[in-house]
Amino acid sequence: MFSTLLSAENDPMGTAISDFYAKGRAGRLRVFSPQFDEDEIPVKTLFRTFSEMPLLEQTALTLAEGKILDVGAGSGCHTLALKEMGKEATAIDISPLSVEVMQSEGIQAYQVDLFDSHFVGQFDTILMLMNGSGIIGKLKNMGAFFERMRHLLAPQGCILMDSSDLRYLFEDEDGSMLIDLAGDYYGELEFTMQYKQVKGKSFDWLYVDFDTLSYYASQFGFKAEKIREGEHYDYLARLTWNGQ
Ligand code: SAH
């Protein structure tokens, strides 16, 4: 159901991150989805500095406080920026090669699946950035996700997460929806990645609109606020636990 830890042989993004870290350049990180045409993630952007980050991410880093957990941290760009701001951050990722790079950068990083119940903590802020809702995978995992958050947050702690409403992809010019309302939620996508000869397994990735996210948050004892909207149907949300 949930993603588990990757191994180096099926860790395309980690291989790309590791290559770029070692050589200052990398090949193409290709992204495939049954729903879309082939795409690419420029590997350099995974190493963005604070000034290169979109405003939503900068806002999240500015708001993050106390003990911070960066979930799905990748190259560790957000954790590094937080450290430069004098903040205390820990990073987790399922990618062994990304975790290795983060450790070389001096980051406190662990290879952990967010959904592994052995991992617990008392974090004040949990960061999930670059469509951070993706890690939830599917709407049906919302309950399990918020349950994990309760085991990782201090009471009154919060999650800062960015996502996008993909409705625009399915809307007709007159605003009517072309999607099948009885089908799966339109933000539930499936992806596979490839870097050089390294192919990853396919994984679920959730884009969630703010109203749907708030609905689930309130069901599980969290208050949702839209902090800021981005330029393209994206937004930053703060989900604060009521501590119960
Ligand atoms: N936050 C980083 C990387 C985003 S890519 C950035 O903004 O640049 C998403 C990352 O989430 C990948 O590194 C992937 O390995 C990691 N990931 C996916 N599922 C995860 C899970 N269940 N637990 C922890 N990390 C996960």
| DSSP secondary structure letters along the chain | -------GGG-HHHHHHHHHHHHS----EEEEETTEEEEEE-GGGGG--GGGS-HHHHHHHHH--SEEEEET-TT-HHHHHHHHTT-EEEEEES-HHHHHHHHHTT--EEE--TT-TT----EEEEEETTTGGGGG-SGGGHHHHHHHHHHHEEEEEEEEEEEE-THHHHB-TTS-B-S-TTSS-TTEEEEEEEETTEEPPPEEEE---HHHHHHHHHHTTEEEEEEEE-SSSEEEEEEEE---
- pLDDT tens per residue, range 113-147: 999 999 999 999 999 999 999 999 999 999 999 99
Ligand 1 atom with the shortest distance to the CA of 95: 15
Distance 97 CA to ligand 1 centre (A): 12
Ligand 1 atom with the shortest distance to the CA of 115: 22
Q: What mean pLDDT, rounded, does the chain reach?
A: 95
CB 165 within 8 A of CB 233: yes
Which residue ranges have their beta carbon within 6 Å of ligand 1?
Answer: 3, 13, 46, 71-74, 77, 92-95, 98, 113-115, 129-130, 135
Confidence (pLDDT) at 4: 86
pLDDT over 90 (residue 180): no
Confidence (pLDDT) at 1: 41
Q: Among 1, 13, 163, which is best to mutate for testing ligand 1, by the most ligand atoms less than 8 A from CB?
A: 13
Ligand 1 atom with the shortest distance to the CA of 48: 8
pLDDT over 70 (residue 179): no
